[in-house]
Amino acid sequence: MSTYDFDLFTIGAGSGGVRASRFAAQYGARVAIAEQQYLGGTCVNVGCIPKKLMSYAAHFPDDFSDARGFGWTLGEAAFDWKTLIANKDREIERLNEVYRKLLKDSGVRILEGHAQILDAHTVSIDGRLFTSRHILIATGGKPTLPELPGCEHGLTSDDFFRLNALPNRALVCGGGYIAVELASILNGLGCEVTLAYRGTQLLRTMDADLGVFLAQEMTKKGIDILFEADLHAISEDAGDHSIKQVTFKSAKTIETDCVLFATGRHANTRGLGLENTGVRMHANGAVMVDDNFCSNVASIHAIGDVVDRIALTPVALAEGMIVAARLFNGAKATMSYDKVPTAVFSHPNVATVGLTEAAARQVYGKLRIFKTQFRPLKHTLSGSGERVFMKLIVDDRTDRVLGVHMVGAEAGEIIQGFAVALQCNATKAQFDATIGIHPTMAEEFVTMRTAL
Ligand code: NDP
């Protein structure tokens, strides 16, 4: 009989922590999970779920406008921010309870409060001490604010989901996932949006063509994108504190009602007591773990955004299942970060799986590249100027498809299927042998015949 209170003590009830805890309990472990804020973590509360709901809301003006070309006459549309936020909050509360029930039904003990690790086997929750054979850190990440004068006048993505009202004007700072998603939502809901990015290409970690194409499409929708635009300072207007004056390093100035920082996220390890254990961390605060998600302290493990590998919910879920199976079911599997598909819910959506052209060229040398861009059938009548972009990257020697990339409506829904094909090492010949579904956008992926 173990002398510890628990076999697994998970800190953080987000996607990864909840999944690992439930699976560990199903394998027979005695599990506790500590959470100081909300069940479901970033994804459920201030990330994927509310973002996608708000993205749906922001699509309606395009739909109303598209409808005219199909013969519809609609009355004047009106949008109520408070209704959207209240409905979104109600859905999140429902999900919080779903998580609570899932944990309880699995036999996981939920401990509410701030957890601090005291030593390799002891955790304190607001002064109450618990011992555990294993400790799992799954505390996720937090938005990072750039250090500049007046940055306290800016908001983060966490704040965005709690805004009392839709701002008339917003400046979104950043060029990554969150920046393009929030800029698209605000723009779709009727806010005048400027997107300021310090670099020259949006989504710069993805295939270069995606960022270029997305910038064109977002610009068509009315977003003012400023490249090489590095913020210098923010101040409040002396007469009206709700107005922000933003100065760029180039000396350009902009007046806006809201500055939203989407300038990256960092591991949430402060105040966790890691200094009490000697657990090693990266310079950015992320917990250092090996292939088994084990830190340099044998009983302390970490998964999800707090280890700073790929900050995506499905990745954290997979990591959680691997840790639980290794610790409590004798499994030996490790995590593969190859061919992780991902989607950005900008308007239009971006989705991708596999290698970028630049990365593929480095590894494989000679490639065949297939690209197409076109007006989807729907927009032949809708009057919308929105276009779709698709790209395939093929290894010339083996004919294997190395990357599938898309910008366009429902790109995430389409790329998910192609992610399976890439997992199976599909070749271009097998893509070509696949019958298309007509008329769809996705059929273009199996009908591109001429390499560039
Ligand atoms: P990203 O890493 O995607 O983008 C951060 C952006 O902020 C980059 O454009 C970066 O510029 C810029 N930046 C960083 N520091 C500064 C600074 N000091 N001043 C100005 N700009 C700065 O981070 P996000 O916060 O957007 O998202 C974090 C992660 O969360 C993503 O990488 C993704 O893994 C996950 N996520 C996933 C989503 C999805 O699945 N749809 C949605 C949202 C987030 P530069 O490029 O020059 O470094």
Q: What is the DSSP annotation of 78-100?
A: ---HHHHHHHHHHHHHHHHHHHH
Span(s) in the chain for CATH 3.50.50.60: 6-143+266-328, 151-263
Phi-psi region of 166 (alpha: psi -120 to 50; beta: other; left: phi over 0): beta
Query: In this predicted structure, what is the pLDDT of residue 26?
Result: 98
Which 3 state secondary structure label does DSSP give 434?
coil
For ligand 1, what atom is nearest to the CA of residue 312?
34
Per-residue pLDDT reduced to its tens digit, 287-329? 999 999 999 999 999 999 999 899 999 999 999 999 999 999 9
2 has a pLDDT exceeding 90: no
122 has a pLDDT exceeding 90: yes
CA of 216 to the centre of ligand 1 (A): 20
For ligand 1, what atom is nearest to the CA of residue 230?
20
In contact, 301 and 279? CB cutoff 8 Å: no
For ligand 1, what atom is nearest to the CA of residue 313?
40
Average pLDDT estimate for 234-240: 91
Query: In this predicted structure, what is the pLDDT of residue 238?
Result: 87
Considering only CA atoms, which residue is closest to atom 35 of ligand 1?
311
In contact, 218 and 184? CB cutoff 8 Å: yes
For ligand 1, what atom is nearest to the CA of residue 177?
26
Query: In this predicted structure, what is the pLDDT of residue 99?
Result: 97
Pair type for strands 253-256 and 192-196 = unpaired
Closest residue by Cα to residue 34 from 58, 10, 2, 50:
10
Pocket-testing residue among 15, 49, 159, 178, ligand 1, by greatest number of atoms within 8 A of Cβ: 178
Query: In this predicted structure, what is the pLDDT of residue 440?
Result: 98
348-446: CATH topology is Enolase-like; domain 1 (3.30.390)
Pair type for strands 141-143 and 265-267 = antiparallel
Considering only CA atoms, which residue is closest to atom 2 of ligand 1?
264
CA of 178 to the centre of ligand 1 (A): 6
* CA 73-79-85 angle, 5° bins: 145
Pocket-testing residue among 144, 205, 263, ligand 1, by greatest number of atoms within 8 A of Cβ: 263
* pTM reported for the whole predicted model: 0.97
Tokens of 156: 């983060």
In contact, 353 and 403? CB cutoff 8 Å: yes
Rounded CA-CA distance 204/241 in Å is: 35
29-45 CB burial, b ≥16 within 10 A, e <16: bbbbbbbbebbbbbbbb
At 202, the amino acid letter reads L
- The model's confidence at residue 1, banded by pLDDT at 50, 70 and 90, is low
CA of 95 to the centre of ligand 1 (A): 26
CA of 175 to the centre of ligand 1 (A): 7
343 has a pLDDT exceeding 70: yes
Per-residue pLDDT reduced to its tens digit, 380-417? 999 999 999 999 999 999 999 999 999 999 999 999 99
Span(s) in the chain for CATH 3.30.390.30: 348-446
Pocket of ligand 1 (CB under 6 A): 146, 173-179, 181, 197-199, 204, 262-265, 311-312, 342-345
151-263: CATH topology is FAD/NAD(P)-binding domain (3.50.50)
User: Between the CA atoms of 207, 209, 212 and 216, what dihedral angle is there, to the nearest 10 degrees?
Assistant: -130
> Going by C-beta distance under 8 Å and a sequence separation of 6 or more, which residues neighbour residue 340?
310, 312, 314, 315, 353
User: Between the CA atoms of 134, 6, 306 and 141, what dihedral angle is there, to the nearest 10 degrees?
Assistant: -170
Considering only CA atoms, which residue is closest to atom 19 of ligand 1?
146
3-state secondary structure 23-36: HHHHCCCCEEEEEC
Pocket-testing residue among 142, 151, 198, ligand 1, by greatest number of atoms within 8 A of Cβ: 198
CA of 267 to the centre of ligand 1 (A): 13
Phi-psi region of 335 (alpha: psi -120 to 50; beta: other; left: phi over 0): beta
Closest residue by Cα to residue 19 from 41, 2, 3:
41
Pair type for strands 122-125 and 128-137 = antiparallel
Active site residue 134: no
Considering only CA atoms, which residue is closest to atom 13 of ligand 1?
263
Per-residue pLDDT reduced to its tens digit, 246-275? 999 999 999 999 999 999 999 999 999 999
Q: What is the residue-averaged pLDDT of the chain?
A: 97
Tokens of 435: 């019958």
CA of 144 to the centre of ligand 1 (A): 9
Closest residue by Cα to residue 15 from 313, 256, 331:
313
Question: Which residue among 114, 301, 347, 438 is the active-site one?
Answer: 438
Rounded CA-CA distance 329/99 in Å is: 23
Query: In this predicted structure, what is the pLDDT of residue 314?
Result: 98
Class of domain 6-143+266-328: alpha beta
